[in-house]
Structure 1
Amino acid sequence: MNVKNITARPFGFDIVVVTSVRDAVAGADIITTSTTDETQAAGRTHYD
């Protein structure tokens, strides 16, 4: 029982970390996309 618990905990922790990293990357992509869209929109408004 103890060995299984020790084995399961790091594995579960790794999954949580990977999920958090993926969420962070997804969030960064959304922020980058939004910033790019705003910049392009501002550029069109400014130059047009």
Structure 2
Amino acid sequence: TGQSKEILYIVVNKQELSMLKKIIRSCDKKAFVIVHDVRDVFGEGFVDISK
């Protein structure tokens, strides 16, 4: 559309994905959602990047 949009990028584990989809559906039934498998996630709450 050429219009600016806000994007929420979130990383969850497989066990959390089902709950996340329910939350998204309850907030916005027309939400556009992409699910990717990732190998590693570094940062707070995940793997320490210095390792």
TM-score, normalising length from structure 1? 0.30
TM-score, normalising length from structure 2? 0.29
Larger Rg: 1
* Higher RCO (CA 8 Å, separation ≥ 6 residues): 2
